[in-house]
Amino acid sequence: MIERHLVPGQPKPYSHYCHVVRGGDHVWVSGAVGIKADGTIPAGTVEQFRVALDSVDACLRAAGAGAAQVVKVSIFMTDISERAAINPLRIDYFGENLPASTLVDRVRVLAVPGGAAFSRKDIAGLEEQAREQGAKGLAWMKVGEAGALEGGVSKFLSDDERARLDAEFKKLEL
């Protein structure tokens, strides 16, 4: 049996999803960001992380679970230098129940609530910034009109890779 929960006191989903799903003995929580239910964003990474962690906890509890049952955590940060500031909250929440964990750095856009638009110029700007920071590519998403999800992926090619592909395409031209 599958249970889907929209959890009271949590921000309304921006698209077609629910906060948490329970299927048998497994629970999946949708991504939580540091946005309060009223749409406000606290100042500072630690307070935003606290809001997100409280949201995850509320979702777990709505599905009959808690920190002790979490097996994997993925955290996406815009500035990994602030990792040490959020660790005390993780330690307090999980205690001795250590989940597997992935930390992703240099995330530039975590959520785009309210249908904010990206122009091609904005994406190009993100690509340039990502290249400067040594990224191999860039994935982006936005929520557009009527909740439509749009996105794209760019793989950064070296000059040699680009020349090789250009030569291959020229062979295909009639």
pLDDT at 63 over 90: yes
pTM, to two decimals: 0.62
145 exposure class (CB count in 10 Å sphere: 0-12, 13-18, 19+):
exposed
Structural domain spans, the chain:
1-108, 112-174
Specify burial of residue 94 (Cβ count, 10 A radius: 0-12, 13-18, 19+). middle
Q: Cα–Cα distance between 27 and 61 in angstroms, integer?
A: 10
How would DSSP label each residue in 88-131?
A: HHHHHHHTT---EEEEE-----S--GGG----HHHHHHHHHHHH
Tell me the pLDDT tens digit for each residue of 130-163: 566 665 555 454 444 444 444 444 455 566 766 6
CA atoms within 13 A on the CB side of 6: 8
Supply the pLDDT for residue 128. Answer: 61
Distance CA 29, CA 49 (A): 16
- Asked if residue 10 lies in contact with residue 37, where contact means CB atoms within 8 angstroms, the answer is yes
Taking only the tens place, the pLDDT of each residue in 92-125 is: 999 999 988 888 776 555 444 443 334 444 445 5
Q: 159 exposed, middle or buried (CB, 10 Å; 0-12, 13-18, 19+)?
A: exposed
Residue 38: enclosing H or E segment and its boundaries? none
Domain 1-108 classified CATH 3.30.160.270? no
What is the pLDDT averaged over residues 56-76?
91
Single-letter residue type at 144: G
Q: Is the pLDDT of residue 9 over 70?
A: yes
Structure tokens at 86: 């959020």
Token reading at 12: 């309304």
In order of 15, 38, 114, 169, the CA distances from 146 in angstroms are 9, 20, 10, 37
Share the mean pLDDT of the chain.
74
